[in-house]
Structure 1
Amino acid sequence: MQVDLIIEARWIIPVEPESVIHENHSLIVNDGKIIDLLPQHTARHQYQAHTLRELHNHALIPGLINCHTHASMTLLRGIADDLPLMEWLQKHIWPLEQKWVGEAFVRDGTDLAIAEMIRGGTTCFNDMYFFPEITAHQAIKHGIRAGIGLIAIDFPSAWAEDSDAYLEKGLALHERLRHEPLITTPFAPHAPYTISDEPLSKIRMLADELDLPVHMHVHETRHEVDEQRQKTGQTPLQRLDELGLLSPAFIAVHMTQLSDAEIDDYARTGGHIVHCPESNLKLASGFCPVAQCLNAGINVALGTDGAASNNDLDMLAEMRSAALLGKGVSGDASAVPAMTALQMATLNGAKALGIDQQTGSLTIGKAADVVAIEFSEVETQPLYHPLSQIVYSASRNQVTDVWVGGRQLLKQRQLTTINLSDLHERIGIWRERLYADDNK
């Protein structure tokens, strides 16, 4: 049988079934989908490919899913480090955004983020930022899968003047994008402290009507929880529950401040959590009790947050941090093992976004979103267990090849859809503008 692509690899880690690792197998791809996974010697007899990729020092894993980003904020990477969250936001990030955020800022920042993510093995990102139509356009242009958040806040920005305008523009964008195969459009109300009850109630109604997820920062810091309790007599989670938002379609980002009762209550709603360990560490926001949440049955995915507070979009590093923090916070060295960390970065993210029938594992019938990681470097030798090596030893520089829907976006460490020389030039211009403004 003639097919588009055969990828031969030393190891294939499909994620589904859990803990299975295939040795010396081939992944068969046709029309952008995985149609078979079988031993190499059998594959060579059954299939002939237009393209054969032989990766005999590599492991194949599903494409990594970065479940929480502010992609274009990559332009603000490192501009105001080592500050508390609110000082960082109020004195540096928000003033720069107020002056500079527009279509060009979002276009160039998103291109920078996409280039970094592809080179690190990310094949899907879930974004929350202004001018989402620009983010969507760039994602489609460069061939990466994306959740384009329909952002909503009470306050005016360069994109919309009030919550009604955010929702109106978001719904129009959803209508334009709903047939794009690489794009989904979750609602993205920013946080409980930036959006009031009336627009949140509208979002709940619209999300139910359109069958869309809702993606929101929740319980990110102790200050947020205490302030909301003082103002309303409720925690943010209690308020969101009262408004009917907590459901299997709800994606709560950060969740560093959780009591045992809140974990159990949230598990009963069927909602998801996106854990952003490195951003939470850098901003001293607290620790999501990941092992306890997983044990309660909550689906926990991984995100980097924006590069302005991380300072990278490295999902391999995020997996390692999640696994190590999970052990440290729980006091249990067996908590968040390597396979769980990989699931959080792949299939769990797909489940949170409602796209687990399309991606998240190397399963027959799903899109060929595939990442190849080379193990011949001394940093990953000797190699006893490839899965452990990916989570605890490998770096993103060992990602050699990336496919999304069977289209190769990274080939032997070279991007195929982004011109790096042009990108460097554009980013250099932004660096001069932003640095000058922040240092007035």
Structure 2
Amino acid sequence: MQVDLIVQARWIIPVEPASVIHENYSVVVNDGRIVDLLDNEAALQIYQPRAVECLDRQVLIPGLVNCHTHAAMSLLSGIADDLPLMDWLTHHIWPAEQKWVSEAFVRDGTDLAIAEMLRGGTTCFNDMYFFPEVTAQQAIAHGIRANVGLIVFDFPTVWAENADAYLQKGLALHDRLRHQALISTSFAPHAPYTVSDEPLRQVRTFADELELTVHMHVHETRHEVDEQRQKTGHTPLQRLADLGLLTSAFMAVHMTQLSDEEIGFYAQTGGHIVHCPESNMKLASGFCPVAACLKAGINVALGTDGAASNNDQDMLAEMRVAALLAKGVSGDASAVSAAQALQMATLNGAKALGLDAAIGSLLPGKQADLVAIDLSEVETQPVFNPLAQVVYAASRHQVSDVWVAGKRLLNKRQLTTLDLEELRGRAAIWQQRLTGR
């Protein structure tokens, strides 16, 4: 049988089945999909590939799924560091966005983020930001997979004047994008404290009708929870439940403030949690009780958040921090194993987005979203367990090659759809504008 590509790797970690590691194995790819996984010798006996890629120092994993981003905020990285969330938002980020966010800002910031994510092994990102049509356009242009958030606020911004306008523009964008192979959409109401009840009821109705997921910041800080309790006597999570939003299509981002009762209740809804450990630590927002959530049966995915509150979009680092933080917070060294951390960064993210039939693991029939990590570097020697080395020792600079739907987007550390020098030039121009130079 003739096929497009065989990728031979020193190790392959398919994620499904869990904890399996294949040695001297091949992934067979045709028409952008995985056809087979088998040992190198058998692959070349059974298939006639148009191309063979030999990665004899690399471990091959599924593409990483960054389940919560504000991609264009790459241009705001480092603009307001070492501040708590509400101070950071109200006195620095929102004023900067009000002054500078435009289609050009989102285009250039998204390109910068895509370059960073691809070079770090991320093949799919779940975004929430203004001008989502531009984010989608840039993702399509550069070949990365994206779930684009149809944002909703109560108040006017540069993208829309009120909640109804956000919803109508979002619905129109969903309709335009619904046939794009690499693009999906979610409703993305910003947070309980920025969206009132009636728009949230409409989000629920439209999401049900269109079978879309919903992506929202929830229980990010103690202040958010306390303020809602003082105003209504209920927590934000209770309010969302009363509005009918908490279903298996709901992604709650952050969730740093959870009681045992809330964990049990949320598990029953089938909702997902997107854990952003580095951003939460940097803003001193708190710790999501990941070990308890996983034990309760909640699907926990990983996200970096925006580069303005994290300063990078490095999913390998996020995996490591998530595993180590879960052990420290729970007091249990076995909490969140290396295998669980990798699953959180791949398959769990795909499940949260409703894309697990297509991505998140290396199984025949799934899309060929592949990431190769070179473990021959001295920092990851010796290799007793390649899975543990990926999670606990490897850095994003060891990502050598990336494919999305079988198309190579990173070739021996070189991006194939983006010009780094040109990107640096655009970033420098925005730096000058934002600093008033």
- The yes-or-no answer on 1:200 pairing with 2:164 is no
Residues 253-280 of structure 1: CA deviation (Å, up to 9, x unaligned):
0000000000000000000000000000
Aligned to 1:114: 114
Rounded Cα–Cα distance in structure 2 between residues aligned with 1:424 and 1:48: 41
Q: Name the stretch that deviates more: 48-57 or 338-347.
A: 48-57
Question: What letter corresponds to residue 234 of structure 2 in structure 1?
Answer: Q
Question: For the residues of structure 2 that align with 1:70 and 1:159, how far apart are their CA atoms?
Answer: 15
CA shift for structure 1 position 90 = 1.4
Name the counterpart of 1:326. 326
Give the whole-Å Cα distance in 2 for the aligned partners of 1:22 and 1:380.
18
Letter of the aligned partner of 2:154 in structure 1?
D
Measure the CA separation in 2 of the matches of 1:91 and 1:168.
30
Distance in 1 of aligned mates of 2:3 and 2:221: 51
1:339-383 per-position Cα deviation (integer Å, ceiling 9, x unaligned): 000000000000000000010000000000000000110000011
Aligned position for 1:317: 317
Look up the match of 1:369.
Answer: 369
Q: CA deviation at 1:436?
A: 2.2
State the distance in 2 between where 1:50 and 1:282 align: 47
Would you say the 8 A contact 1:350–1:360 is kept in 2? yes
Spell out, residue by residue over 1:288-334, the C-alpha distance to the aligned partner (whole angstroms, 9 max, x if none).
00000000000000000000000100000000000000100000000
Deviation digits for residues 5-50 of structure 1 (CA, Å, limit 9, x no counterpart) = 1100010000001111110011000000000000001111111211
Structure 2 residue 220 is matched with structure 1 residue 220: yes
Work out the number of aligned pairs and report it: 437
SS in 2 for 1:273: strand
Post-superposition Cα deviations, 1:91-120, rounded to whole Å, max 9, x if no partner, equal: 111111001101000000000000000000
| Matched residue, 1:101 | 101
Counterpart amino acid of residue 214 in structure 2:
V
What letter matches 1:140 in structure 2?
Answer: I
Superposition deviation, residue 2 in structure 1: 1.4
CA distance in 1, matches of 2:91, 2:432: 19
- Give the distance between the partners of 1:435 and 1:79, measured in 2 at CA: 9
Partner of 1:232: 232
CA distance in 2, matches of 1:332, 1:393: 20
User: Does structure 1 residue 148 correspond to structure 2 residue 132?
Assistant: no
Q: Displacement, 1:430?
A: 0.1
- 2:177 equivalent to 1:171: no
Pairing of 1:125-136 with structure 2 (within 5 A): 125-136=125-136
What aligned pairs does 1:281-292 form with structure 2 within 5 A after superposition?
281-292=281-292
**Equivalent position of 1:392 in the other structure:** 392
Secondary structure in structure 1 of the residue aligned to 2:422 = helix
Whether the 8 Å CA contact 1:79–1:435 is kept in 2: the answer is no
The residue type paired with residue 181 of structure 1 is A
SS where residue 139 of structure 1 aligns?
helix
Distance, in Å, in 2 between the alignment partners of 1:111 and 1:49 is: 33
The one-letter code matched in structure 2 to 1:121 is G
The one-letter code matched in structure 1 to 2:159 is: W
For residue 355 of structure 1, what is the aligned residue in structure 2? 355
Paired residue secondary structure (1:360): coil
In 2, Cα distance between equivalents of 1:205 and 1:28:
42
Residue aligning to 1:242: 242
Q: Which amino acid aligns with 1:358?
A: A
Alignment partner, residue 77 of structure 2? 77
Matched, 1:56 2:78: no
Amino acid at match of 2:194: T
CA deviation after TM superposition for structure 1 residue 81, in Å: 0.5
Contact persistence 1:58–1:372 (CA under 8 A):
yes
- Once the two structures are TM-superposed, the CA of residue 435 in structure 1 deviates from its matched residue by 1.8
Aligned partner of 2:7 in structure 1 is 7
Secondary structure at the aligned position of 2:309 is classed as: coil
* 1:23 maps to 2:23: yes
Query: Where does residue 47 of structure 1 map in the other structure?
Result: 47
Partner of 1:344 in structure 2?
344
**Aligned equivalents of 1:384 and 1:22: distance in 2?**
14
Partner deviation per Cα, 1:406-427 (whole Å, 9 max, x = no partner): 0000000000000111111111
Amino acid at match of 1:210: L
RMSD: 0.6
Contact kept? 1:272, 1:298, Cα under 8 Å: yes
Please give the alpha-carbon distance, in whole angstroms, between the structure 2 residues aligned to 1:347 and 1:137.
Answer: 25
CA distance in 1, matches of 2:108, 2:5: 32
Say which SS state the counterpart of residue 417 (structure 1) adopts. coil
CA distance in 1, matches of 2:410, 2:50: 18
Please state whether the residue corresponding to 1:372 is helix, strand or coil. Answer: strand
AA aligned to 1:66 is N
Letter matched to residue 228 of structure 1? Q
Give how far 1:84 is off: 1.3
Unaligned runs of 5+ in 2: none
Q: Secondary structure in 2 aligned to 1:251?
A: strand
Name the aligned partner's letter for residue 10 of structure 2. R
Residue in 2 that maps onto 1:181: 181
* Alpha-carbon distance in 1 for matches of 2:51, 2:156: 50
> What's the secondary structure of 2:368's corresponding residue?
coil
